[in-house]
Amino acid sequence: MNKVQQDSYAIEQAFAKGKAFIGFLTAGDPNLEATARYIKVMADAGADLVEIGIPFSDPVAEGEVIQRASQRALKSGALTDAIFDMVEKVRETVTIPLVFMTYLNPVYVYGAEKFFARCKALNIRGIIVPDMPYEEKGEIEDVAAAAGVTVISLIAPTSEQRIERIASDAKGFIYCVSSLGVTGVRKEITTDIAGLVATIKKYTDVPVAIGFGIAEPEQAKAMAAVSDGAIVGSAIVKIIEAHGDAADEALGEYVRSMKAAVVSAE
């Protein structure tokens, strides 16, 4: 494996050519074979980075759509070892940046050192942990960093006086939460995202991508216009929920449309 190939896995590469489109899906929904296929479909359709959700029985940050996906995935046998094995197959053909999104419990149960060692072997360069407050990220940050894995920081509209602290310490990219509450499609995003991103940018040069509630191309374009990229999860998971093991075409069309919208914001 040459250096150029290795560099393609770096989180920074997602933002190297302009505004990034980041997609999320739940590993194991409807099954791990489909997940492996869908990650490649998303990459081929223009996704700059894919967040792979490791399902957990109590996903406190998730709305109904991703909760249902987590339940389906767990029933299908999407345990952590099996997910790592799936990513190993994905890495045979997919070289875009990949990160995990999960909760502290699956990492602890698996064993943090073992977990991040497998991430390193598979060029998983980041992890997002919604139930871990910034003040507690030291719980996993050192062992993750030793394996070359970045703990991605989240900043929400309620972060307020903590924004400087979180932003100045951030690496990889900042996950900017657009709205209060859990994940899910929203008809309208009313938060002053431009103001929030401007505040974050006072303290860091790390890219800022906006997630929670984005579903339509117009929303993606509007969010990308004031940030470095748009993150879409629930809308993608809904497509997979609707089509099951035959979501390839619908998923590819959707990702292409969203990537085009993000690029048009440049």
- Dump pLDDT digits (tens) for 46-65: 999 999 999 988 766 567 89
Both tokens of 31, joined, read: 């099954």
Of 89 and 181, the one with more pLDDT: 89
Residue 57's pLDDT is 82
Residue 127's pLDDT is 98
Instruction: Specify the pairing of strand 20-26 against strand 49-53.
Output: parallel
Task: Summarize the confidence of residues 31-49 as an average pLDDT.
Answer: 98
Q: Dihedral sign, CA of 15, 5, 144, 181?
A: positive
- For the sheet with 20-26, list strands across it: 150-151, 124-128, 98-101, 49-53, 20-26, 229-232, 208-211, 174-177, 153-155
pTM score > 0.85 for this model? yes
Q: Measured in whole angstroms, how far is the alpha carbon of residue 246 from the centre of its chain?
A: 22
- Closest by CA to 154, choosing from 120, 135, 56, is 135
Q: Measured in whole angstroms, how far is the alpha carbon of residue 259 from the centre of its chain?
A: 15
